[in-house]
Amino acid sequence: MKNTGTKSIISDKMEKTISFELNGKKTEAVIDPAQTLLWVLRNHFGLTGTKFGCGMGFCGACTVLLDNEPVRSCQLSVGEVEGKKLTTIEGLSTGGQLHPVQKAFVEHDALQCGYCTPGMIMNATGLLLKNPSPTEQEIRDGMEDNYCRCGAHKRIIEAVKTASADMKGGK
């Protein structure tokens, strides 16, 4: 809705046209390529589901998928997404339907304050794209660097298991 053919200016120097696919839509932005991807997503594109947590890539609240790979958007510049496919939490559900990972998080109540949740869901989605049938240990290892302070870990593991079963069932 907000990113079709967008052309905007953030600062008046070092600008370049960055072309990439954002949540399934071809997108262009005239922008300083050194700008932090997280803040460009939030302020330029209004995609505020991607959260600021620690600013140094430790906590995972800002996780997005870049060519289906979970990455920390606070550690990337917008220039680094040139020509790539970027998916944020807003682009995960299709046709008004929750993505199986989102659905599983809701069903399991795998969240409390919900602030880490978009990052958790994006990381889990990336994990399942790479390994559709992870063991519990593989889920723990894969989710290890996404932090949740409320202590929803138990339910997040259960949700990822459910999503894994659901996604395989849908194929």
Partner 1 sequence: MKKENNKIVFSDEMTPVVGMPRRDFFKVLGAGIIIFFRPWGAMDVLSMPAEQRHSLPTDYNAFLQIGETGTVKCFTGKIEMGQGVITSLAMEMADALNVPFEKVEMIMGDTDLCPWDAGTWGSLTTRVFGPHMLAAAAEARGVLVDLASEKLGVPASQLEVKDGVVTDINDSKKSVSYAELTKGQKIKKFLDVKPLPEDYTKFTIVGKPRNHVDGVVKATGQAKYTGDLKLPGMLFARLLRPPSHGAKMTSVDYSEAEKVPGTKVIHDGDMVAVLNENHDLAENALSKIKARYSFDEMPVSNKNLAEWLVTEDKVVDVLSSDGDLAQGEKESDKVFESEFHDQYLAHAPIETHTALAQMEGEKLTVWASTQSPFGLKDTLVRELSMTPDNVRVITPFVGGGFGGKSPAQQGVEAGKLAKMTGKPVMVVWSRDEEFFFDTFHPAGVIKVKSGIDKDGLIKLWDYTIYASGSRGSETTYDVPNAKRTHYTTGRGNPSVHPFATGAWRAPNNNSNTFAREVQIDIMASAAGIDPLEFRLKNLKDVHIIDCLKAVADKFGYKPGKSPSGRGIGIACGADAGAWVAHIAEVEVDKNTGNVKVKRISCAQDMGMCVNPEGAIIQMEGCLTMGLGYTLTEEIFFKGGNISDRNFDTYDIPKFSELPEIQTVILDRMNQPPQGGGEPAIIAVGAVVANAIYDATGARLFTMPFTPERVLEALKKV
61 sits near partner 1 (criterion: CB under 8 A): yes
Among 15, 21, 28, 48, binds partner 1 (CB under 8 A): 48
**Which residue, among 72, 15, 70, has the nearest Cα to 44 in the 3D structure?**
15
Q: How many CB atoms lie within 10 A of CB 73?
A: 29
Separation between Cα atoms, residue 21 and residue 29, nearest integer Å:
11
Structure tokens at 106: 């809701």
CB closer to partner 1, 21 vs 58: 58
The footprint of partner 1 on this chain (CB under 8 A) covers a number of residues equal to 66
Among 27, 88, 125, 164, binds partner 1 (CB under 8 A): 88
Strand duo 16-22 + 69-72: pairing = unpaired
Of residues 97-126, which lie at the interface with partner 1 (CB under 8 A)? 98, 102, 105-107, 109, 111-118, 121
Cβ neighbours for 82, distance < 8 A, ≥ 6 positions apart? 18, 19, 20, 33
Write out the residues near partner 1 by the rule CB under 8 A: 1-2, 6, 10-13, 34-36, 39, 42-43, 45-56, 58-59, 61, 88-90, 92-93, 98, 102, 105-107, 109, 111-118, 121, 139-141, 143-157
